[in-house]
């Protein structure tokens, strides 16, 4: 029982970690909380499901196409919602913050209802990568789930390598620390933001397909995914990628334990309550900077 | 002389005249169906106005309007279904419970800055929804809870109740935002640091605004339970409903109190008018309209009036 819990916890936490790193990276660099995050995941997941359903695409390529879908959604979000809001309206910082939240919320509804209209508002799941079952410490686990977890950490590792070892990645890191100084160094900040949104979308797209594989997605379920992602990111400390990874594991385990011990329908509840408590005691999150 | 230059008493007089005219609507041959839509629109207007008090003036985005509305609605519904009290007592208890729940939520939450306050209010709705489902033997769970009593069966009377609630809320909130309290609140919303330097206790003022907002939201929620005859999570405790309230307030014009009434009635009317398109397409269209309003008319429909007037003056 305990081992089973740990195994499922590790698997689900890996996806949660991948599904939230993009969200926190985006906040760290551009200061934007994309409330359409969960719906971006759902869009990629549903697209992968649809493409596989046509019969021309296998699950592996579907992950790639999902990443592409996420990237397109991310760039459209930036180009149609975020950028115009920043340039067209002369808003104070507080106002811009709230307008951003409201605008991404409206964008969520537009995306969600567009998906519901095109594909129907039903939960869909992407078929497993490979058939078969493997025993881990005596726990029977689908091989596909293990692959998904490994793949998630691999993508996170690649992201870490990109941000800390490449020049382009270092620029992004610098933009999250001091954008003004970066502009003085002659870097085009707008291009940095475009790159970040593209990376964000790609990460969200991959995560969306994997979430659709393990948990399933639906158009109207996007908002719940946003809430989970939001809880994880805030718990870890907004903008702190390391904190997000730890929080993703924490929430993943708590949800799995709740689902096993109490009821699967209540899996989200303890995480939400913990989130509130953490916010009250330590508003900057467990690992966030003030 | 235009409306925005009128003194407060004149604006309230206009509100009273418009309310009196609206009160005649049931007697001019309006269909029962239209009347029922307007009734819901007016309840919705109360929610939107109270959201505007927090967002437009206190500068806090409350994503959990339905936490307050739901507390009022479910308190009233559970009291009534257990035969504890008469409808009016239930409504009063609902409003009171919403204020208590709102204060408990807001007091710690208001110390948080930036997006955290919005997050906590959103999470409060999610938790409440889960708890209602968890204790479904007492709350009716996802199916909802039926209310045996009614305040009135007659649709005209119900319309008048909703109209009265909206008009009284509008009048009180309007007086409030024009009072010194409202000005301080607005200052806090626009520049919290400066307001704090002036010696105002930010948390105290915001908490007061939140409690006022909770009172009217809970009151209208409880009244709406007796109008609908049931309390269910999809109507009263739902993040999506909270979003619609936000859209209504933004379309109508934030920081105006009266604007959200227009926005709420517009939303309910648009939902009816677009119904032939089907659920997804109509909701998508409404969201699209709201987005366009947000971009091109950040002041909302009432802001449009201001722009037109300035053009004419220029």
Interface predicted TM-score (ipTM) of this complex, two decimals: 0.83
pLDDT tops 90 at residue B257 = no
Neighbours of B118 (CB within 10 A): 24
Q: What is the pLDDT of residue A289?
A: 60
For residue B47, tell me if it sits in a domain. yes
For residues A266 and B132, the answer to whether their CB atoms sit within 8 Å is no
Measured CA to CA, the distance from residue A19 to residue A156 in angstroms comes to 10
Q: What is the pLDDT of residue B2?
A: 47
Q: How many CB pairs under 8 A join A and B?
A: 104
For residues B187 and B195, the answer to whether their CB atoms sit within 8 Å is yes
Residue of B nearest to A121 (CA): B280
Measured CA to CA, the distance from residue A243 to residue A66 in angstroms comes to 26
Comparison of pLDDT for A30 and B172, the residue scoring more: B172
- Dihedral angle, C-alpha B254, B256, B261, B267, nearest 10 °: -20
For residue B177, tell me if it sits in a domain. yes
Task: Spell out which residues of chain A touch residue B288, defining contact as CB-CB under 8 Å.
Answer: 106, 110
Q: In this complex, do A280 and B279 lie within 8 Å of one another by their Cβ atoms?
A: no
Residue A39 C-alpha, separation from nearest chain B C-alpha, in angstroms: 14
For residue B149, tell me if it sits in a domain. yes
SS3 for A260?
helix
For B122, the closest of A103, A117, A227 (CB atoms) is: A227
Instruction: Tell me what percent of the residues of chain B surpass a pLDDT of 90.
Output: 40
For B298, the closest of A89, A230, A273 (CB atoms) is: A89
For residue B64, tell me if it sits in a domain. yes
Residue B245 C-alpha, separation from nearest chain A C-alpha, in angstroms: 11
Residue A221 C-alpha, separation from nearest chain B C-alpha, in angstroms: 12
Count of structural domains within chain B: 1
Q: In this complex, do B295 and A85 lie within 8 Å of one another by their Cβ atoms?
A: yes
Q: Which domain holds residue B56?
A: 3-235
Q: What is the pLDDT of residue B4?
A: 56
pLDDT tops 90 at residue B89 = yes
- Dihedral angle, C-alpha A214, A218, A224, A230, nearest 10 °: 70
Q: In this complex, do B111 and A283 lie within 8 Å of one another by their Cβ atoms?
A: yes
Residue of A nearest to B251 (CA): A102
Q: In this complex, do B280 and A113 lie within 8 Å of one another by their Cβ atoms?
A: yes
Task: Spell out which residues of chain B touch residue A94, defining contact as CB-CB under 8 Å.
Answer: 59, 189-190, 192
Picking from B12, B106, B27, B70, the residue whose alpha carbon sits closest to that of residue B245 is: B70
For residue B304, tell me if it sits in a domain. no
For residue B251, tell me if it sits in a domain. no
For residue B275, tell me if it sits in a domain. no
Residue B41 C-alpha, separation from nearest chain A C-alpha, in angstroms: 20
pLDDT tops 80 at residue B306 = no
Identify the H or E element spanning A169.
helix A167-177
User: Could you tell me the pLDDT band of residue B314, with boundaries at 50, 70 and 90?
Assistant: low
| Residue range B285-298, pLDDT digits in tens | 888 888 888 888 87
Task: Spell out which residues of chain A touch residue B123, defining contact as CB-CB under 8 Å.
Answer: 227, 231, 272, 275-276
Task: Spell out which residues of chain B touch residue A101, defining contact as CB-CB under 8 Å.
Answer: 61, 63, 115, 118
Q: What is the pLDDT of residue B5?
A: 65
Three-state SS string over chain B comes to CCHHHCCHHHHHHHHHHHHHHHHCHHHCCCCHHHHHHHHHHHHHHHHHHHHHHHHHHCCCCCCCHHHHHHHHHHHHHHHHHCCCCCHHHHHHHHHHHHHHHHHHHHHHHCCCCCHHHHHHHHHHHHHHHHHHHHCHHHHCCCCCEECCCCCCCCHHHHHHHHHHHHHHHHHHHHHHHHCHHHHHHHHHHHCHHHHHHCCCCHHHHHHHHHHHHHHHHHHHHHHHHHHHCEECHHHHCCHHHHHHHHHHHHHHCCCCCCHHHHHHHHHHHHHHHCHHHCHHHHHHHHHHHHHHHHHHCCCHHHHHHHHHHHHHHC
What is the residue-averaged pLDDT of chain B? 88
Delineate the domains of chain A, giving CATH numbers in brackets.
Answer: 2-281 (1.10.3470)
For residues B120 and A276, the answer to whether their CB atoms sit within 8 Å is yes
Q: In this complex, do B133 and A117 lie within 8 Å of one another by their Cβ atoms?
A: no
Task: Spell out which residues of chain A touch residue B190, defining contact as CB-CB under 8 Å.
Answer: 92, 94
- Give A265's DSSP letter: G
Q: In this complex, do A33 and B120 lie within 8 Å of one another by their Cβ atoms?
A: no
Measured CA to CA, the distance from residue A231 to residue B116 in angstroms comes to 10
For residue B187, tell me if it sits in a domain. yes
Neighbours of B278 (CB within 10 A): 13
Q: What is the CA radius of gyration of chain B?
A: 19
Highest mean pLDDT of the ranges A93-97, A123-127, B66-70, B303-307: B66-70
Chain A interface test: which of B131, B247, B284, B300 (most A C-beta within 10 Å): B284
Q: In this complex, do B190 and A280 lie within 8 Å of one another by their Cβ atoms?
A: no
pLDDT in single tens digits along all 290 residues of chain A = 778 888 888 888 999 999 999 898 898 888 888 889 999 999 999 999 999 988 788 888 889 999 999 999 999 999 999 988 888 777 777 677 778 888 888 899 899 999 999 998 888 888 887 787 887 787 788 888 888 899 999 999 999 999 888 888 888 888 888 888 888 888 888 888 899 999 999 999 999 999 998 888 888 888 888 888 888 888 888 778 888 889 988 888 888 888 888 877 777 788 788 888 887 787 777 776 64
User: Could you tell me the pLDDT band of residue B1, with boundaries at 50, 70 and 90?
Assistant: very low
SS3 for A141?
strand
| Residue range B97-128, pLDDT digits in tens | 999 999 998 887 887 776 778 878 888 898 89
Q: What is the pLDDT of residue A153?
A: 93
For residues A274 and A235, the answer to whether their CB atoms sit within 8 Å is yes
For residues B40 and B155, the answer to whether their CB atoms sit within 8 Å is no
């Amino acid at each position: 029982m305990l081992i089973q819990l740990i195994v499922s916890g590790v698997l689900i936490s890996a996806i949660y970690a991948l599904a939230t790193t993009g969200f926190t990276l985006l906040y760290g660099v551009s200061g934007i909380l994309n409330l359409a995050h969960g719906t971006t995941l759902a869009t990629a997941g549903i697209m992968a499901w649809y493409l596989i359903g046509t019969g021309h695409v296998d699950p592996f390529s579907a992950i790639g196409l999902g990443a592409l879908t996420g990237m397109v959604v991310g760039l459209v979000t930036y180009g149609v919602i975020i950028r115009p809001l920043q340039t067209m309206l002369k808003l104070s910082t507080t106002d811009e913050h709230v307008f951003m939240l409201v605008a991404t919320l409206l964008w969520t509804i537009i995306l969600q209802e567009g998906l519901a209209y095109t594909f129907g508002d039903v939960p869909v799941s992407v078929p497993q990568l490979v058939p078969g079952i493997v025993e881990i410490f005596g726990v029977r686990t689908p091989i596909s789930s293990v692959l998904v977890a490994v793949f998630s950490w691999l993508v996170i590792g690649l992201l870490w390598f990109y941000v800390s070892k490449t020049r382009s990645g270092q620029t992004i890191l610098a933009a999250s620390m001091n954008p003004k100084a970066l502009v003085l160094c002659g870097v085009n900040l707008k291009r940095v933001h475009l790159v970040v949104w593209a990376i964000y979308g790609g990460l969200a797209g991959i995560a969306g397909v994997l979430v659709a594989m393990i948990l399933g997605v639906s158009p109207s379920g996007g908002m719940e995914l946003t809430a989970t992602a939001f809880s994880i990111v805030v718990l870890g400390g907004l903008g702190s990628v390391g904190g997000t990874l730890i929080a993703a594991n924490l929430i993943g385990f708590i949800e799995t334990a709740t689902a096993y011990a109490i009821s699967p329908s209540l899996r989200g509840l303890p995480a939400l309550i913990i989130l509130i408590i953490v916010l009250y005691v330590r508003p900057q999150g467990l690992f966030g900077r003030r | 002389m235009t409306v925005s230059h009128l003194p407060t008493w004149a604006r309230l007089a206009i509100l009273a005249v418009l309310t009196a005219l609206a009160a005649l609507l049931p007697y001019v041959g309006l269909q029962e169906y239209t009347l029922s839509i307007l009734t819901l629109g007016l309840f919705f207007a109360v929610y939107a106005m109270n959201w505007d008090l927090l967002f437009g003036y206190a500068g806090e985005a409350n994503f959990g309007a339905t936490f307050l509305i739901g507390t009022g609605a479910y308190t009233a519904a559970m009291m009534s279904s257990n035969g504890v009290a008469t409808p009016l007592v239930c409504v009063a208890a609902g409003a009171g419970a919403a204020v208590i729940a709102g204060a408990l939520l807001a007091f710690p939450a208001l110390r948080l800055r930036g997006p955290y306050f919005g997050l906590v209010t959103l999470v409060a709705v999610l938790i409440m929804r889960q708890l209602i489902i968890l204790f479904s033997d007492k709350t009716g769970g996802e199916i909802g809870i039926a209310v045996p009593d009614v305040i009135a069966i007659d649709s005209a009377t119900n319309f008048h109740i909703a109209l009265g609630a909206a008009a009284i809320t509008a009048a009180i909130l309007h007086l409030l935002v024009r009072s010194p309290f409202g000005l301080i609140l607005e200052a806090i919303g626009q520049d919290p640091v400066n307001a704090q330097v002036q010696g105002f206790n930010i948390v105290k003022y915001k908490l007061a605004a939140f409690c006022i907002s909770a009172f009217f939201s809970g009151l209208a929620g409880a009244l709406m339970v007796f109008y609908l005859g049931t309390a269910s999570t999809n109507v009263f405790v739902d993040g999506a409903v909270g979003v619609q309230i936000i859209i209504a307030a933004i379309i109508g014009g934030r920081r105006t109190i009266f604007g959200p009434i227009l926005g709420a009635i517009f939303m309910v009317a648009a939902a009816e008018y677009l119904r032939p398109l089907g659920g997804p397409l109509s909701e998508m269209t409404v969201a699209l309209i709201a987005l366009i309003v947000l971009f091109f008319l950040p002041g909302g429909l009432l802001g449009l009036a201001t722009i037109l007037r300035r053009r004419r003056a220029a």
